[in-house]
A and B are shown apart, each in its own frame.
Chain A
């Protein structure tokens, strides 16, 4: 499975690069946005369906109560501390680096938001750091799941309700669907506030 994923990612990136640079006039958003959204909606329906059919998954789900509340809080704290420690190591402005970490993987939000609040340089850093968080999560899921069943959900942060959800369900098990989705949902609500709060301390 991971072979297909990495090949699809690489082929997609190469195709995107070629089309963008050599096929001017081709609407790249058709694939980057529209195809992505349609595939995501279909994926969510199919995952939901296969979860609904599965009695075992529903039985396991009953034990997830605490996770839905505890995980997003711990992941948000971990991202904030991670940004802070990185800021100290890299000798960056610590509040700024913490704000970058607070993006929790949501680069399409934290990039433009940081650019608006602190300028283009911080915007670029926030975009790149959170994009790399998503990319690293995608390629390390098979390894991380060996460490802990829920490690990929922690790693994915705000992306576990969309881009990384299919892989998490595949590797961590169908019963993690609701935990992963709600983790991403809650973190997507926290991220804009956390980024703004730390950016205001710079």
Chain B
């Protein structure tokens, strides 16, 4: 994903989606609940697949797992705390 093109190929479908949704908003009600669940399941499955098939990651996790976990948890905790505090300050 270390490719600037990634940013483009993710932004384009989103923008096209928003615009086309906006254009048809008065025509009819579209039910998107089920397709969204299906897409999310496919997405998470392929994410799981890339983890399971990554031998290097699976070999590395037992060695550095604890350190990695501490860094991940603290990065999450401080990010969440800063955003919650910031939301109170600027009322965002």
A interface residues, Cβ below 8 angstroms from B:
1, 4-5, 8-21, 28, 31-33, 35-37, 39-55, 58, 64, 66-67, 70-71, 74-75, 77-79, 81-83, 85-87, 89-90, 92, 97, 100-101, 104, 106, 108-109, 112-113, 121, 124-125, 127-133, 136-138, 144, 147-148, 150-151, 153-155, 157, 161-163, 166-167, 170, 181, 185, 188-189, 192
The 9 closest A-B pairs by CB, nearest first: A48-B17, A12-B48, A52-B21, A16-B52, A78-B79, A32-B50, A82-B75, A16-B53, A128-B68
B14 touches A47 (CB 8 A): yes
Q: Which residues on A sit within 8 Å (CB–CB) of B73?
A: 136
Q: Mark B6-49, 1 if CB is under 8 A from A, else 0.
A: 01011101111111111111000010100111011111111111
Q: Which residues on A sit within 8 Å (CB–CB) of B7?
A: 185, 188-189
B92 touches A20 (CB 8 A): no
A166 touches B1 (CB 8 A): no
Instruction: Name the residue of chain B whose CB is nearest to the CB of A137.
Output: B76
B25 touches A109 (CB 8 A): no
Instruction: Name the residue of chain B whose CB is nearest to the CB of A106.
Output: B1
A5 to B47, CA, bound (A): 11
A18 to B75, CA, bound (A): 32
B79 touches A154 (CB 8 A): yes
Q: Which residues on B sit within 8 Å (CB–CB) of A41?
A: 9-10, 13
Q: Which residues on B sit within 8 Å (CB–CB) of A155?
A: 76, 79-80
Q: Which residues on B sit within 8 Å (CB–CB) of A147?
A: 80, 84
**B57: shortest Cβ distance to chain A, in Å?**
7
Q: Which residues on B sit within 8 Å (CB–CB) of A121?
A: 64
**B33: shortest Cβ distance to chain A, in Å?**
9
B47 touches A66 (CB 8 A): no
A82 touches B48 (CB 8 A): no
Q: Assuming the A-B contacts A40-B43, A45-B13, are A148 and B78 also in contact, with contact meaning beta carbons closer than 8 angstroms in the complex?
A: no
Q: Which of A125, A131, A170 has a CB less than 8 Å from the CB of B67?
A: A125
A52 to B36, CA, bound (A): 15
A46 to B20, CA, bound (A): 10
B82 touches A44 (CB 8 A): no
**A26: shortest Cβ distance to chain B, in Å?**
9
B80 touches A78 (CB 8 A): yes
A33 touches B50 (CB 8 A): yes
Q: Which residues on A sit within 8 Å (CB–CB) of B82?
A: 74-75, 77-78, 81, 154
B72 touches A43 (CB 8 A): no
A selection of 16 A-B contacts at a CB cut-off of 8 Å is: A1-B40, A4-B37, A8-B44, A12-B50, A48-B16, A52-B18, A52-B22, A71-B92, A74-B82, A78-B80, A125-B67, A128-B60, A129-B69, A161-B10, A162-B10, A192-B2
